[in-house]
Amino acid sequence: MTETSAPAADTARFREFKMPDVGEGLTEAEILKWYVQPGDTVTDGQVVCEVETAKAAVELPIPYDGVVHELRFGEGVTVDVGQVIITVDVAPGTAAAAPEAPAQVPVAEPEPAPEPEEAKPAARQPVLVGYGVSEASTKRRARKGTAAPAAAVAAVQTELNGHGPAATQAPASRPLAKPPVRKLAKDLGLDLAGITPTGPDGIITREDVHAAAAASVSPQPVAVRPAPEPEEAPAPAPAEAVGGAARETRTPVKGVRKAIASAMVNSAFTAPHVTEFITFDITRTMKLVEELKSDKDMAGLRVNPLLLIAKALLVAIKRNPDVNASWDEENQEIVHKEYVNLGIAAATPRGLIVPNIKDAQAKTLPQLAEALGELVTTAREGKTSPAAMQGGTVTITNVGVFGVDTGTPILNPGESAILAVGAIKLQPWVHKGKVKPRQVTTLALSFDHRLVDGELGSRVLADVAAILEQPKRLITWA
């Protein structure tokens, strides 16, 4: 908090709940929904809001008993980890009521009376993750009822806008920007100090960085065409552009979509991908699926082709354990894993997520079916926890449910391989020397070529197909 501290009694009375880090190293989360309002009574452990991180939607419980005093942010607002999001009156009804309500000061609203000698805005300065509050802000004395002279306010505002003297200003502080924005500016070769911020409290946003990058290259095409010829043809162009813009809708990139974009770019340009394909007869496996649906040991469980494909992949990994590894760039080591955390790509209303089944190699077929069912149900409800999406080793993505034959999947970051399952279709196929209608599918295996050579990748893919062609190999090879 950068506002003036309340008296000790009020500090003990009003407890602040900050945005926690609900994942590993996440720096921000968006408030999706508040379940309480000011004046509502809450108890320790009660869920007060739902937030969406870059990995999942998570419900946050309050660790206090009391009455909600204030909600610091509205729904749809992205908040940095460590910022106060709600205050609770833990001693309601006491005689000592707070004489002033600092909690009512809007987060992004400037305060009207800064000290003339302080060349800083008096607005509440947000605390960014990894950057503390400057000492100057914590030493500011409490505001009084009297406002500063209009001339002093104007002078400070002039300096803030960059038009006045800066002699009284403290040493230039670091420009305010979130870590991802700083990285973007660095990648584009831009100095944050030279970018004009448009975010609340002078925070530099991604849009500011992109605008600065565009401005740095925009003069070149203007110099090339100083005087275009006044022809009749170019006239409709502006109207066409305006019409096109009116038909466009822009959606902010955040939450799960933002995480997907970052992960896919990182994976595609870090791990050298190789993808191999195999098309085969899966008829016997489809017959086994139907038989298992009526098996008493599988009663109440979800039985489908994906279950047996997952089991086939686990057996293939057991036969070729070197494929189950990861690349440690920092230590220049290959990390071989004795466990398989099997990821299953799941499409949800918020985007694609990849939760994984821990220690899938140790599960029986009924246990694997139960785990798959829980994973899919939880993902569709949007309740997948960040922990469920961490530590994966290999992944399966089923594009066949959309009628697609196959694809070239991109590796989940930190994993060695991903298997794409295509649509299962009835096709003419040579079976026992005769052309017959058989159920056929295509699998695609993408793997990290730093870890997996072509021979190893080919053996893994061939083993999966061989098991699904002759599912009795689930017994003989396991």
pLDDT digits (tens, 9 = 90+) for 268-326: 767 788 999 999 999 999 999 999 999 999 999 999 999 999 999 999 999 999 999 99
Mean pLDDT of 33-47: 91
The contacts of residue 132 (CB under 8 Å, 6+ apart) are: none
For 122-136, 252-266, 342-356, which range has the lowest pLDDT when averaged over its residues? 122-136
pLDDT of residue 138: 40
pLDDT for res 212? 78
- Report, as an integer, the average pLDDT of 89-103: 60
Question: Cα separation of 456 and 68, whole Å?
Answer: 59
Helix axes 179-187, 206-217, angle to 10 degrees: 10
On the question of pLDDT at 121 being above 70, the answer is no
Distance CA 317, CA 463 (A): 9
Instruction: Identify whether the C-beta of residue 61 lies closer than 8 Å to the C-beta of residue 46.
Output: yes
pLDDT (0 to 100) of residue 23:
61
pLDDT at 130 over 50: no
Instruction: Sort 400 into a burial class: Cβ within 10 Å, 0-12 / 13-18 / 19+.
Output: buried
Tokens at residue 344, please?
Answer: 């299953």
Which of 235-239, 305-309, 382-386 has the least mean pLDDT? 235-239
What pLDDT does 374 receive?
94
DSSP letter string, 270-296 = TS-EEEEEEEEE-HHHHHHHHHHHT-G
- pLDDT single digits (tens) 254-263: 766 677 677 7
Does the pLDDT value for residue 125 go beyond 60?
Answer: no
Return the exposure string of 226-244: e unless at least 16 CB atoms fall within 10 Å of the residue's CB, then b: eeeeeeeeeeeeeeeeeee
Lowest mean pLDDT among 84-93, 166-175, 323-332, 436-445: 166-175
Indicate whether 476 pLDDT > 80. yes
Contact (Cβ atoms closer than 8 angstroms) between residue 144 and residue 111: no
Higher pLDDT, 54 or 172: 54
289 vs 205: which has the higher pLDDT: 289
Structure-block tokens of residue 245: 């813009």
Q: How many CA atoms lie within 13 A of 173 on its CB side?
A: 19
Is pLDDT at 200 greater than 60 in this prediction? yes
Q: Which listed residue (69, 163, 336, 449) is catalytic?
A: 449
For position 136, what pLDDT does the model report?
A: 41
For the full predicted model, state whether its pTM sits above 0.85. no
Residue 67: the pLDDT is 93
Q: Which of 60-69, 181-190, 268-277 has the lowest mean pLDDT?
A: 181-190
- With a pLDDT cut of 70, the percent of the chain lying above it is 71
Closest of 247, 2, 213 to residue 111, by C-alpha: 2
Burial 132-155 (b: 16+ CB within 10 A, else e): eeeeebeebeebeeeebeeeebeb
More confident residue, 52 or 152: 52
Distance (Å, whole) CA 164 – CA 155: 7
* Residue 431 is a catalytic residue: no
pLDDT for the residue numbered 258: 74
Position with higher pLDDT, 64 vs 126: 64
pLDDT tens readout for residues 157-184: 444 444 444 434 444 466 787 767 777 7
Q: What pLDDT does residue 440 have?
A: 97
415-425 residue pLDDT tens? 999 999 999 99
Which residues is 431 bridged to in the sheet?
Answer: 434
Across the chain, what does the average pLDDT equal? 78
**If you average pLDDT over residues 347-364, what whole number do you get?**
89
Higher pLDDT pick, 311 / 387: 311
**CA geometry: angle 303, 305, 306, nearest 5 deg:** 90
